[in-house]
Amino acid sequence: MALSEEHIEEIAGLLDCGLVCFYHKITKSIEYHPDSEEFYSVPEPWHDILDKIQADRNNYIRFEKMDSNQAFRVMENFAWSLTDIDFRDQILARLSKRKPFQHFKFLIDSSEYRQDWFDFKKKAYIEWVKEQI
């Protein structure tokens, strides 16, 4: 099965937002809904999507978001990709503390590397989707 680059990018973006994605093999459409693990149940407005997927589940391919260990590795890999050694060391120090995601986000959001991080993470999610295909 081959998905278009546009579909892969769309799925990657939806997964990055914390959604669970499904690709319909016949219609080549993408369906998605909030992850019930994060919300304890899927909110009411999404029940029609769940019913649609459930009714034809053999024709859907499910794409999972990264778990926290995988997301942490992406942050680490981003740090190691930087040529700015001082900033890289700041990131790695923050990642070694409690609440590494919170510390990383605060540091990146207030830095000149914010867009570089978004670009890096987008590429990582695209690769993640390709691995699942």
The whole-number pLDDT of residue 42 equals 61
The whole-number pLDDT of residue 35 equals 76
The whole-number pLDDT of residue 51 equals 85
List, run by run, the mean pLDDT of 10-residue segments along the chain (133 residues): 90 93 94 73 74 91 93 97 97 96 96 97 97 91
The whole-number pLDDT of residue 43 equals 62
The whole-number pLDDT of residue 129 equals 96
The whole-number pLDDT of residue 2 equals 82
CB proximity list for 53: less than 8 A, separation 6 or greater? 22, 31, 60
The whole-number pLDDT of residue 57 equals 92
